[in-house]
Amino acid sequence: MSLQQAACRRQQAFPRRAIFIGSVLLLLASACGGSASERQVVVSAASSLTDAFADIGQAFEAANPGVDILLNMAGSSLLREQILGGAPVDVFASANPPVMQTVIDAGLATGSTAFAGNRLQIGVPGDNPADVAGIEDFADETLLIGLCAEVVPCGALARDILLEAGIEPAIDTSEPDVRSLLTKLEAGELDAGIVYVTDVIASEEVIGIEIPDALDPVTEYLIAVVAEAPNPTGAEDFVAFVLSAEGQQILAAHGFTPP
Amino acid sequence: MIRRRRNPVGVVILAAIGLAFFALPLVGLLTRAPWSDLPDLLTSDIVLDALRLSLIASLMATALSALLGVPLALMLARAEFPGRSVLRGLVLLPLVLPPVVAGTALLFTLGRRGVIGEPLNEATGLVLPFSIWGVVIAATLVAMPFLVITVESAVRNLDPKFEGAATTLGAGRWEVLRRVTLPMIGPSLAAGLLLTWARAFGEFGATITFAGNLQGRTQTLPLAVFVALEQDRDTAIAISLVMVAISLGVLVLLRDRWWKTR
């Protein structure tokens, strides 16, 4: 039997209208399914919270059977753009106050709560191939240097620190979020980058070098229920859980400081 | 007079929905476009740097694909060897693989610490990531399969009698390839090159993963859109419009020449 004959046979076996009717039904069905939003909470959280929020999400699901936490991890600024663009998000956790403020200014959140603190550190591959000793080495043209992009909190803060230290960095890449920067450090493709202490803790291959307190390398994380949250009750519950003793304990275990 | 065959109503309706699926995002982009600021936005350093880099890198990727992809397609179509279907699967893998995965794989292979990258770096001092070569390699990896499948199927469908005749008339293998095979698959080759270029021009995931993101060095138009989206939406939309215009322009201009539409 040739391919054409086979195709014809299949066409006969398939009632002509079935495909059409089937697709219309599918469209209708997807428009009607509203109850799902009651059972899931969509959480947009800064990339640096990846591991901590995975644990918090699991603990929340264990404490609230039948509720699904959907984590949407990316750079805070990309998450903000998604929310400003009308993404159906319930909770937003930002890695710095200015990004959260723009969401509040846009009327998409009424207020926010600080829930954790973090600190930037210089991250280098485990064997420190370029013998990076401190922030001064970021001016060295011969090194492969990476920072987070200026729009993401870790990139903005890193540039503030370098400016404060009077160092013009010889950047080779501006990564879209802290985790992609961390990956390139882990792979040994970059000699140094500026990441969070929590990333250094999370990574087995990257080691951290302190940035002096005088350069103020600290940041504050804020969390808010999004104004147009499809599941406001679930969102409130999740925020309360993050602020609870159990949530704070998980954050501390990942190296975050209390707010 | 031949009456044209009419499509069933259901097909027409679904086709209309399908068309809207392609057209509506464009409409969305156009309604948000900052028309009055467009000239300023499009002549900013970020956009011009990215445009230059995108054009150079995508053309280089297309050239590299032609150099390596056409021989590969000929081998896949003609040569008999065990494991050919596995090999074909391997070549087509980047079509289905998320580009970020392709980029990660490149990083672990051709990166400074990679299987090939490390000896290459030690021998020549060359570092592929964070350079335009990284951009070209990433784009080639994800775009070349389009050329290979197009050319391979064209070679398969070729009537062997022309090449046979040329051989009978005393032409060597190279001459047959150059003067009979390649001219006969010309339209498919051109279409394949066009698809390859278009894919390379729009490449994002593998590029940002393997080559990084630095204005003027590795930041192509898609990367510039991604970064600008979070900072300056007008610039992001302006760059998107440039990409749409260039891509659409090329596809439409070359349609009559290469996509034979009756």
- Per domain, the residue ranges of chain B are 42-258
Q: How many residues does chain A have?
A: 259
- pLDDT tens string, chain A, 259 residues long: the values are 444 444 444 444 444 555 555 555 444 444 444 455 678 999 999 988 999 999 999 999 999 999 999 999 988 888 998 999 889 999 999 998 999 999 999 999 988 999 999 999 999 999 999 999 999 999 999 999 999 998 888 999 999 999 999 999 999 999 988 999 999 999 999 999 999 999 999 999 999 999 999 888 899 999 999 998 999 999 999 999 999 999 999 999 999 999 8
> pLDDT, tens digit, for every residue of B90-112?
999 999 999 999 999 999 999 98
> What residues contact residue B10 under an 8 Å CB cut-off, 6+ apart?
A17, A19, A20
CA nearest to B218, candidates A137, A149, A45: A149
Q: Is-same-fold flag (A36-116+221-253; A118-218)?
A: yes
Instruction: Provide the whole-model pTM.
Output: 0.80
- CATH number 3.30.930.10 given to A118-218: no
Q: Are A149 and A75 in contact (CB under 8 A)?
A: yes
Cβ contacts below 8 Å, chain A against chain B, sum to 69
Distance CA A176, CA A183 (A): 12
Contacts of A71 (CB under 8 A, 6+ apart): A43, A45, A53, A54, A57
CATH (residue range B42-258)? 1.10.3720.10
Choose the closest CB to A20 out of B10, B127, B130: B10
**Domain residues of chain A, as ranges?**
36-116+221-253, 118-218
* Sequence-distant (≥ 6) Cβ neighbours of residue B145 within 8 angstroms: B91, B92, B93, B94, B95
HSE value, Cβ hemisphere, 13 Å, CA-based, for B186: 8
Q: What is the DSSP letter of A257?
A: B
B104 contacts on A by Cβ (under 8 Å): 183
Instruction: Give the tens place of pLDDT for each residue, A90-147.
Output: 999 999 899 999 999 999 998 899 999 999 999 999 999 999 999 999 999 999 999 9
- CB of A78 within 8 Å of a chain B CB? The answer is yes
Q: Contacts of residue B231 in chain A, CB cutoff 8 Å?
A: 77, 150-151
Looking at this protein, which amino acid is placed at residue B56?
I
B209 touches chain A (CB under 8 A): yes
**Nearest-CA distance A69 → chain B (Å):** 25
Cα B244 from chain centre: 15
Q: What is the domain class of A36-116+221-253 according to CATH?
A: alpha beta
Classify burial at B18, counting beta carbons within 10 Å of its beta carbon; exposed 0-12, middle 13-18, buried 19 or more: exposed
Taking the mean position of all CA atoms in its chain, how far away is CA A250?
17
